[in-house]
Every structure is written in C-alpha cells, then in structure tokens.
Chain A
C-alpha cells in the first residue's frame, strides 16, 4: 500500500508545474519561433547572442550581480548575527530600518543616491569639496560600483532575513561547545555559528544574485548615464518598435542554466554536511555578551542602514513634504499637500492599495505554502528525481519580469487556465514570480530540523501533512514569517507583470507608482513611498507580535 499523502504531494507538484512550466514553456517555445512565419528556428538565439553588445551586457549583469550579492553578505550577515545572537542594543530599530529599506520603492532609493553621490551636485561630493577645497568629489554613483552599491543596499534584506531565521534556530550549546574548547566569540561565530547557517546564506546569495540580474529600475537610472548596459536594459530595448519578443525570450532562456548551475554548486558545497540545529533535545538560545563591542556592532548596523535607509529617507522626507523638491530645504517650501493628495485626492489610490495588499497577501500565502511543501518533498525525497523540482521552483526568478510577463499573459489567456481579467491572474503571477524566494528560504530552514521531529509526529498517527502543519510549520514560523515579508513586499511593488496583467478593477499601486517615477513626479512618489514605509513597517512589526514567542529563548532566563 502506498502513502496516502502521496496524492497530496503529486497534486502540489502538478500545481507547481502548472504555475511555472505553463508560462515558461510558452516562452521557450517562442524563443524557437520565427517572428514572422512561426516556424522553428535557432535564429532568435543567433540574434540574441550573435552580437557582442548583448553578450557584453550579460557579462555586465553577471559581474554586477556577483558583486552586489557579495556586498550583501558583508552588509547582511553581521547584522543578522547581531540581531539574532548578541546583546547588541537597538535591535528593534535595526530591524525596522531593514524592513524600511526593503519597502522603500527602489526608484526612490536610486534617486536618493543620485542626490547623494551624483558626481556634479551630490551632497557627499559637495561636502567633500567644501572641506578639502578640491575641484571635484570622489563619489560617482554613475559607475558599476555605484550600481552595485545601490543594488546591494536594496537587496541585502534578503540576506538579513534568511540568515537571521537560520541563526534563530541554532542552539547556544553548539557555540558553548566551541567556547569551552577555548575558541573566542569571533572564532566561534566564524567557525561554528555561521557555517551552520550556510544553507541560508548561500540561498540568500543566490536569490540576490538572480534578483540583481533581473532588476530593471536601478540599472535604468544608473547604468545608462554611466554608459554601460546590462541585460535588462538590453531586453527593454527589444520591446521597442519593432518589438522582437522572440529574441528577448531567446536572450533570457540561458539564464535558467545559470540558476541550475548555482543550485548544483550549492548542492556540491553542502554535500553530505548536516545543518540540523533543532535536535529534539531542547536547546536554548542565549545572547552572546559582547561587552563594549556591542556598540561597535550597533555602529556598523547603523552605518549600513544609513546607507540603505536613513539617508535616502532624509531625501524622501524632504521631497514628501516639499512643494517643489528641486528647491531644496526651506521653510517656505514645506507642505502637506503631497501627502493629502496621495491619501485623499488621488482617486485610484484607495482601490489600488486594497488590491495591492490583498493580492500580495494571497500570493505570499500561496507561494509560501507551495514552496514549503515542495522544499519538503525535495528534502525528504518523497518522489523520485525530486531535486529537479528545485530547478523548477527557482526558474521564475531569473527571467526578467518584462519577459516573464509575456509568458504569464500567454499562459492565462489560453487553456487550460483562462483567468484573464480576474484578480487570480495577478495573484498567480505574483506567487509564481516570488516563489523562488519562499522556496530558498524553506529549503534552508528545513535543513535545520531533525527529521525525527516529524517522525515522532508520524509514528503517533499523524500523516506527513499533519506533521508539516503541526510540527514543521510552527517550528519554522518565525522564519516563515520572515519569508512572508520577503515575498509580500516585492509582490506589492512588482511592476513588470502587473502592468501586463491588470485590468479595470484590478489596478495595483505599483502601476500608479510607475507613472510617478516615469514622469519624475518625485514629490508625490516620495509621499507614497513614505506612507508605504511607515504603514508596512508598523504592520509587519505588529504582525511579528502575533507570530508568538521565540521558543528557543527561555522564558525564565535571568
């Protein structure tokens, strides 16, 4: 007799295939289709990769992606460690700032950075020239380094949240064992604690790398003036008239191989190693006492969040409360008009806000549930060739949104799932697009749980599904809550697929924000950004209260 849950797994796998393969297969098909005749051709690939310019843009993307993901490690990992495992003060503030960073529309961040580090008029440069009398300042945001910085500032929250959820589950005894052998706190952290979080760190690295490749907003603002192209800016041009959709598809498809390669690499690096930190023998988490170093660490956290959040926030605040942001600071330039406009006058905002949050929440729940289930299927080898599902689950992320959107549109206006005009098309598109984030997180988290914790539930008569629901999910709930945010927030600002798929009545905020950024209406944009940041941070912090206590922290520790 077979496991009854098998049916559930097969259903979920079918859902995964439907959500991911359906649109992707259409793109793959298009990439081999002659634009005019529809006949099979390799010509699109020749057109996409036959030009050095396109290849060069791809190389630029890879370089920028790697550098940005690397910088994210430098930014995110120490902060995650500080918040999760040390007695550093001000954790709430740091966490709020990381959230704020993530919520702040990426366009705002990029513009803020242009204001700060623009070579001609950037504040930093002006301060520098003012202090030194030099003719020009050293900072130039219009450069590859500048782009890397902006992308890293904007995407290190992935690293932070992933790493933190992993670190939250590591019992202090693992560290105790090292420190009693004479290892200093630093060495213990580097040799024991962080390596135990390796799957999460690598997962975040991959997510950030892929995201950096697929990102359009910041590169469009920074790469072009810096006179280099990246893959997404190239792609964008392929949609200009005469559109070369098939070439665009052909240009993106090889990115899937990169995803496959990265996961293969991760698989090799992790190999037989175990990362079980929840052993089933209790275990607790105590905060590492840093002494005076905790102020140093706080300083570092504030430095990073200043780069990513506080300083851009100054720019945003200035613009949000300015009549005309180009006039700079000034009492006579202050107004509440922008905020009022966004909150009360702008007719479309209210419906769009509701839609945005509802769709994003629904998509997050779907993505998270599906991701956890698929990661579980893969981790526990419930079906043969399960590992292949990893690649399927990760595929949607690396395909730039503008191309993927075409796949969605084609997929949901044709059988078997005609959803055109409904909210579901947006929800499923968001869920699919951000599934990889949830998947990576679930995959990493599952490694930290001793499978015997589930076994114990099963031998007592609970099915795997019940074990997943009653044991695994609650154990991971803080991590999953983090993953929820990581899916929810990008879903609220996802533009490329939204603009393709929305219809009357299903408008979302990102489309409205896009208008504002497209026409340089910075005052209103900043106001919307401000409201988003304040509202969402408050919501999320309140939400985390509901998630419940951190069970590895003793209630009665002194």
Chain B
C-alpha cells in the first residue's frame, strides 16, 4: 500500500533531519531509534533545541537557501501561522490521522500543512511533604487563596509559550483580575514552566501551575510531588509538526509523520513520560488519559492574539 511506496522512496533518500522542540533529547533520540528500527535503511537525525532556536535555525536556513530540515516540530503556535504565511511548509495528510485523539483534531491545519503530534497539560502541582491532598488546591482560583502567600510558583509568559497559553486561558476564564489577585500572594516567577518543578522540590514554593509530563517524571523517581487535575479544567497544550517545502527528504518526512502518529511511536513517547496523541495508547502511571479529564484550551487564534497582550499585562501586574 501507500506506506510501502513511501518507505521505498524514503530509502532512496537515505536520511532525514528533524528539527524538534517537542521533547527532551532522550525522547527525541528514542523516537528516532524507534523509527529507524521500524524502517531500516532510513536514518533519522534529530536536532533538539528550544522552539525559538528551532525557528531561528529554520529562518536562517531559509535565508541562506539551505535545505537541511525535512520535518519541523515547534511548540509555538505562532511559528506555524508564520511559516504557513511565508510558504515554508508543504501539505501532507497522514493516514494515521484517524488514530489521533479527537480533542486534538481542531489543532490541525485545514490545509494539511501541519498536524498535532504532541500534547501536554498545565495542571496544579504541589509538594506532598508539605501539603496534604486534602489541603491541595482543587481549582485554578484556589491558587489566589491567601494561605499560599509566598508559596506559589508560576512561569513567565515572556519566556514560555506554554505559560503564555495558560495565562491566556486563565484570562479567558476569570479575566485579568485573576492575576491581580494572584499577585497578592507574591508568586515566585520562574522562566519556564519546568522551573516550577525545581521550586517545589526545593520547597521554596509548595504549590504551582506546572506541567504534567515533567512533574510526573520527577514524581516517578520518588520526589514528593503530585498533580491535581483542576475542576475548572486542565489547560491542554497541543503542538504540531509539519513538513518543509524544501525538505531534502520529502518521502522520509511523510513516513516520519506517520510514525509520530502511530501506535509504536506513541508507545515510545509514553515510555519517556510524554502524553500520547494516539487514542489507542495508554498514558503512564500516575496520570490520566486526556479523554478521562476535563480539558480547556484557547483556540489557535486566541493564543496568537492573546500572548502579546498578556505579556504586557503580566508586566504591568508583576513588574517584570
């Protein structure tokens, strides 16, 4: 069938390069290995960086007329809009799209230039050695409770698209007043959302708006952390991948997109403590599958428009 033909064509291309910001290096390496195992003869090279670096590299490549990457996986919604505008992407509709978790479908590009391949959640997290499950906040508004004064940790929307999305969502739910109240608790503001994990482990803060995957991975090691799926909704992050128009290995790229959505691929992700996007693959222990919980999310348009706004508001309110 089609997959076979793609594989044959990909073998002629020998290798593909994947610019990714979706996971850490080990996960990226594991996914590449899994891909190579499934499709011997096609080499998978990953360049794992932050989203901004990935985008800058791509931008410089485009400027210099270098065709290096075939697949790009950024976490920043804005990048895709811009890449689409600038015509850097080529359309492809993976066969495995049928197995995508339904909640993610709306993130796919109507023109098939990019599709959702990774997911994550922003949750309430806390240190279990200081906070008992019953005391722990249940919903986002609980974080503004004065009993957490000086003990809350959040990220900064100026440094992290993840945090930016969360802020946009909170503003959508409760208006900017939510953050004005939060400021009364003098939250510790870290750079990325992952900084909250460090803060909790150090007990410098004891509750936080944190990421699901990293918190659960740390918990899996035995650190005294736990997550709460807020009653008013866990904020869902979806990140897409796309194939570049000037991809040196377009067939291998397509094959790779298939793999990212495939069961095998998602099982590799789960082993690495990532949330799966394939609806047939179960999440890791300690977490719930996205289907089981209430998730909330802004639309891509809201994100794109909202993030620059909330950055300014955030600065107004928190002073940085």
Direct contact of A and B (CB under 8 A): yes
A-side interface residues toward B, CB under 8 Å? 53, 111, 114-115, 118-122, 142, 220-221, 224-225, 227-229, 233, 236-237, 239-243, 245, 323-327, 333, 346-348, 406, 409-410, 413-414, 420-421, 499-500, 502-505, 507, 511-512, 515-516, 518-523
Q: Chain A interface: which of B57-65, B98-106, B170-178, B259-267?
A: B57-65
Interchain CB contact under 8 A, B60 and A520 = no
Please pick, from A236, A326, A348, A515, the residue contacting B200 in the complex, using a CB distance under 8 A: A326
Interchain CB contact under 8 A, A241 and B55 = yes
Interchain CB contact under 8 A, B319 and A220 = no
Q: Contacts A224-B189, A228-B320, A241-B78 hold; do A414 and B48 have CB atoms under 8 A apart?
A: no
A118: chain B residues at CB < 8 Å are 202, 204
Interchain CB contact under 8 A, A239 and B52 = yes
Ordered by A's residue number, 5 sampled pairs between the chains whose C-beta atoms are within 8 Å are: A118-B204, A121-B204, A242-B308, A409-B56, A499-B50
Closest CB in chain B relative to A473 CB, distance in Å? 38
- The CA of A236 and the CA of B56, in the complex, are separated in Å by 13
Interchain CB contact under 8 A, B158 and A413 = no
In the complex, how many residue pairs between chain A and chain B have their CB atoms under 8 Å apart?
166
| Interface presence of B17 (CB below 8 A) | yes
Q: What 0/1 readout, one digit per residue, does chain B (70-114) give for beta carbons within 8 Å of chain A?
A: 000000101100100000000000000000000000000000000
B66: chain A residues at CB < 8 Å are 413, 420
Q: Contacts A121-B204, A324-B218, A413-B61 hold; do A515 and B78 have CB atoms under 8 A apart?
A: no
Closest CB in chain B relative to A389 CB, distance in Å? 29
Interchain CB contact under 8 A, B29 and A347 = yes
- The CA of A114 and the CA of B197, in the complex, are separated in Å by 13
- The CA of A239 and the CA of B25, in the complex, are separated in Å by 21
- The CA of A420 and the CA of B64, in the complex, are separated in Å by 11
Interchain CB contact under 8 A, B24 and A414 = no
- The CA of A195 and the CA of B147, in the complex, are separated in Å by 57
Interchain CB contact under 8 A, A518 and B47 = no
Q: Contacts A115-B202, A220-B191, A504-B47 hold; do A406 and B60 have CB atoms under 8 A apart?
A: yes
Interchain CB contact under 8 A, B189 and A225 = yes
Interchain CB contact under 8 A, B201 and A325 = yes
- The CA of A420 and the CA of B318, in the complex, are separated in Å by 42
Closest CB in chain A relative to B194 CB, distance in Å? 5
A237: chain B residues at CB < 8 Å are 158-159, 311
A225: chain B residues at CB < 8 Å are 188-190
Closest CB in chain A relative to B9 CB, distance in Å? 21
- Name the residue of chain A whose CB is nearest to the CB of B307: A241
A522: chain B residues at CB < 8 Å are 198, 201
Q: Contacts A324-B221, A327-B223, A503-B47 hold; do A243 and B318 have CB atoms under 8 A apart?
A: no
Chain A CB within 10 Å — which of B76, B198, B217, B222 has the most? B198
Interchain CB contact under 8 A, B26 and A348 = yes
Interchain CB contact under 8 A, B64 and A511 = no
Within 8 A of A (CB), among B198-241: 198, 200-205, 214, 217-218, 221-225
B151: chain A residues at CB < 8 Å are 120
A420: chain B residues at CB < 8 Å are 66, 68
Closest 8 CB pairs of A and B: A324-B222, A504-B45, A326-B201, A520-B197, A241-B78, A326-B223, A324-B223, A121-B203
Interchain CB contact under 8 A, A221 and B191 = yes
- The CA of A53 and the CA of B129, in the complex, are separated in Å by 39
Closest CB in chain A relative to B213 CB, distance in Å? 8
Interchain CB contact under 8 A, A520 and B307 = no
- The CA of A515 and the CA of B194, in the complex, are separated in Å by 11
- The CA of A515 and the CA of B26, in the complex, are separated in Å by 9
Interchain CB contact under 8 A, A120 and B150 = yes
Interchain CB contact under 8 A, B204 and A346 = no
A122: chain B residues at CB < 8 Å are 204
A111: chain B residues at CB < 8 Å are 198, 202
Q: Contacts A221-B195, A413-B61, A511-B25 hold; do A326 and B225 have CB atoms under 8 A apart?
A: yes
- Name the residue of chain B whose CB is nearest to the CB of A408: B60
- The CA of A512 and the CA of B47, in the complex, are separated in Å by 12
Known: A119-B204, A224-B191, A228-B320. 16 other contacts (CB 8 A): A118-B202, A118-B204, A120-B203, A142-B188, A221-B190, A237-B311, A240-B161, A243-B56, A324-B218, A327-B224, A347-B29, A499-B49, A504-B46, A511-B25, A516-B24, A518-B194
- The CA of A420 and the CA of B82, in the complex, are separated in Å by 25
- The CA of A346 and the CA of B24, in the complex, are separated in Å by 13
- The CA of A327 and the CA of B127, in the complex, are separated in Å by 10
Closest CB in chain B relative to A115 CB, distance in Å? 5
Closest CB in chain A relative to B95 CB, distance in Å? 27
B56: chain A residues at CB < 8 Å are 239, 243, 245, 406, 409, 500
Interchain CB contact under 8 A, A346 and B26 = yes
Interchain CB contact under 8 A, B53 and A500 = yes
Closest CB in chain B relative to A303 CB, distance in Å? 24
